[in-house]
Structure 1
Amino acid sequence: MEETVKAPPRRTELQMARSMCWHCQSEVTGEYFCDRCVKVQPLSKESDYFSCLGLPRRLSIDAQELERRFYDMSRAFHPDFFHTKTDTERMISLGNSALLNNAYRTLKDPIQRAEYLVGLEAGSVKDIRSAPPADLFEEILSLQEDLESYREGLAEGPSDKLAGLRAKLDSDRRSLEERQRELESKLFALFGKWDALHQREDGGAAMRADKDAVLKEMREVLSNRTYVRNIVTDVANTLESN
């Protein structure tokens, strides 16, 4: 059965790329389509992924609501519905669809969602520390020495020492995986703190200071998690190579 494009709800308060319709110059204020000429309107490339899907900048998201919003908007903008339209309309539908897909992929994953929000509010978290978290410093140094010894032992062939190193590395990997889960639990607890700030009515400098404190803590947890995850991956790849 051929699917038809249904008119999307009006006054969605989405950030559009233009304040006037590109086709008839009528005012557009957050509608998917122009009220006058019914031409599709481009979403602003400067809008963030939350506003792109009509969501507030909160970290606890209803997965079903997120999916519903995504599919509702995707049906409206899907390029298949614009193959008989003008080049401009086809380009807009492709651009809108790409933006929606990126937004949905990012926001449906809680870790990516947190990284994205911290990036919006406080700068990128991609510059991960080069040193281990303080409480894991000695453990990580010892593990890295064991990794080097294990790699050297692989070239020399099987031995009791190599088997012992492998067993120790596997145990350390499981320990670090547990540490990663603990960091993720701590991160998810911070989701509640961040979202609770949006319920407050005081605002102003006090609100900004509290937001900055939560963002700083989230950034630290995300940084530590990424460092630990990278070490876990390194150990797993080394063990799987033999």
Structure 2
Amino acid sequence: MDGNGRWAKQRGLPRVAGHKAGAEAVRRTLRAAVKNGIEVLTLYAFSSENWRRTEEEVSDLKGLLGYYLERELDSLAKEGVQLRLIGDYRAFGPDLSQRLERAVEKLKGNSRLTLVVALNYGSRAEIAEAARNLAGKAAAGEIDPVSIDEHLLGEQLQTHDLPELDLLIRTSGEVRLSNFLLWQAAYAELVFTPTLWPDFGEEGLVEAIHQFAARERRFGGR
């Protein structure tokens, strides 16, 4: 979800206004995902690199996250949305972490759509952690190092119990993955759109789905 800052700058507004507009885009996109029968929607909400931003902007992002989480919780429950978190969200402090965990608990029985929110997430760190876990198991004699393969490593990832990633959409005209689901995106279809995230919604999602449906997926087979 990229382009909040540029959206605000184009309108002569502070960056926080772009983040607020981006949160509205999340609402639109989530409802569109439910409407179009998407099973899992993963949103890159806060990367591990976002800590490099100003303290004020990081504080604004955390505040917005807590605000919209509480405001949308009943709506998510009504829509049948289950919430999952990936990344080290506990870095946001005990108050926000506990609110996030309460939201996960409240929505855990839902099954219409799984909303995965990546918070303080970085794919390289996730893969490194998976490698450390396997190294520890090997050192403890729990597994044979020779047995380590793609399947075993994949089981150590935070997304291990989710379906394979089919479609990855990046907004705002940037054409890179920016440390997001690098392992999982190995055979995903990629869609890059010039639309800034605050302007994204059902139309953009449906267009991306149409692009996905029109592609022939060969998975390296031919």
- For Structure 1 versus Structure 2, the TM-score category normalised by the shorter chain is under 0.3
Greater relative contact order (Cα 8 A, min sep 6): structure 1 or 2? 2
TM-score of the aligned structures, taking structure 2 as reference length: 0.25
Relative to its length, the structure with more strand (as a share) is: 2
* Structure whose residues are more often helix by fraction: 1
**TM-score, structure 1 normalization:** 0.24
